[in-house]
Structure 1
Amino acid sequence: MDTGKKVGDLFGRLGKVPGRGVGIGLQLLVGAGGLAYGVSQSMYTVEGGHRAIIFSRLGGVQNEVYAEGLHFRIPWFHYPIIYDIRSRPRSISSPTGSKDLQMVNISLRVLARPDAVALPRIYRQLGTDYDERVLPSICNEVLKSVVAKFNASQLITQRSQVSLLVRKELTERARDFNIILDDVAITELSFGKEYTAAVESKQVAQQEAQRAQFLVEKAKQERQQKIVQAEGEAQAALLLGDAVTKNPGYLKLRKIRAAQSIARTIAQSNNRAYLDANTLMLNLTDLGYDQGATRAGTSKK
């Protein structure tokens, strides 16, 4: 019985050895996994264009700001809060009234980013959605205050000045919340239907007035032209009469020019026409022609 008992104890010890080895392996595996998990949780990466701050369960938000790269932390006690500090566009529309009480629909596009140095303060006061909390309210406030300083017509003719004033006041207002505005631009500026219709009617009336004025000036010019033309014709008639009276040869010269014109026209025509000298005014060599012209001049005298 003692021998059998010893043998049984030996086999029992041998059977327990593999189980103990498996337990140690599992413990080592669990320990290695826990160590790897702890190491991975103790590191974090800040991507390009981002900044990080640390929240500590013991001391709250830390004042240090971490730049891009790999950083370490204490797991469970610390966890990072990462901010995107790149400029992000945002469009805001606001209906407001001008100085002359005209409704204006104005749209603004801003490029905003947080101040990297003040990220801990931004997180304490505004959180990660700082732009949603701040930009709509201050943009509407600044737009209404600036537009109220200009008339509706000035908003169109002095748009660059309006945009510059909006940018200046909005940038100063955003600095109170540690927000930097890289660009501010007015993308749309429109008026109400009533004002648009009134402007169109005014433009049509001005164009009609200018057209009526043009017609009046045109009638005056035509009247003056007719007067000058009539005076010229009367003066020409007087000069022609004097020339014929004082010099009977003038009439003969006119007949020669008329004969030249008739001959040139007939020569250039495709048709052939036969005219006698009297019809063509070429009977200038006849003795009766000069005598008739002389008699005509003498009778006029």
Structure 2
Amino acid sequence: MAQILGTIAKWAIPVGLAAGAAQSAMYDVQGGYRAVIFDRIQGVKSVSVGEGTHFLVPWLQRAVLFDVRTKPRNISTTTGSKDMQMVSLTLRVLHRPEIKNLPSIYQNLGLDYDERVLPSIGNEVLKSIVAQFDASELITQREVVSAKIREELYKRAKDFNLALEDVSIVSVYV
């Protein structure tokens, strides 16, 4: 009995260290997520990693997880129309990051890319489009206004590697 306990004690620490090393070398990417690998020597790797269990070099590499599912975002602004009336608009934007450009998004914008980009480009586009219409035209030509906003927002979001699934005007108050 003493010999068995001695053998277990002799092997417990090396086996525990090996199991800990193996555990720290593995990471899991859940469904709806992608991982960008940050390497302490080479920086951000140029390819993102898909779903499943993967390996990395512990303490040298780190996996940064991105949620690539479509997410909603409301953008509200108050701006002047062509006839100088104050108009309040709210947009609902369904967006997601472009998967092939995740490393670039991580390098340039970080994990909170949507909080940094969408409010600024949304307000910019809303103000430029609303200034082209009278307050009454914003209501009567809502489809035209919505189409222009959608088109411009798609262009601006593309510059930041964001894919917009849908853009719709939720409310207009004159």
Fold conserved (TM > 0.5)?
yes
Aligned ranges for residues 53-68 of structure 1 at < 5 Å? 53-68=36-51
Structure 1 residue 153: Cα displacement: 1.0
Cα shift at 1:26: 2.8
Matched to 1:85, the amino acid is V
| Partner residue, 1:113 | 96
2:76 to 93, 112, 124: 93
**Does residue 1:183 correspond to 2:166, yes or no?**
yes
Q: Secondary structure at the match of 1:104?
A: strand
RMSD, aligned α-carbons: 1.6
Which residue is equivalent to 1:134? 117
Higher relative contact order (CA 8 A, sep 6+): 2
Tell me, which stretches of 5 or more residues in structure 1 are unaligned?
1-17, 192-301
Give 5+ residue unaligned stretches, structure 2.
Answer: none
Q: CA deviation at 1:64?
A: 1.6
- The code of the aligned residue for 1:54 comes to I
Aligned letter for 2:135?
Answer: A
Quick one: which amino acid aligns to residue 25 of structure 2?
S
Within 1, Cα distance between the matches of 2:98 and 2:35? 12
Q: State the SS of the aligned residue for 2:59.
A: coil
* Alignment equivalent of 2:152, drawn from 169, 173, 179: 169
* In 1, Cα distance between equivalents of 2:113 and 2:3: 58
TM-score normalised by length of structure 1:
0.56
Larger radius of gyration: 1
SS in structure 1 at match of 2:145: helix
Which position in structure 1 is the counterpart of 2:67? Answer: 84
Report how far residue 122 of structure 1 moved.
0.5
> Is 2:140 the counterpart of 1:157?
yes
For 1:27 and 1:62, how far apart are their aligned partners in 2? 41
Which position in structure 1 is the counterpart of 2:31?
Answer: 48
Q: Is 81-90 or 39-48 further displaced after alignment? A: 39-48
- Between Structure 1 and Structure 2, the one with more strand by share is 2
CA offset at residue 100 of structure 1? 0.6
Which protein is richer in helix relative to its size? 1
What's the offset of the Cα at 1:25? Answer: 3.6
Percent identical among aligned pairs is: 50
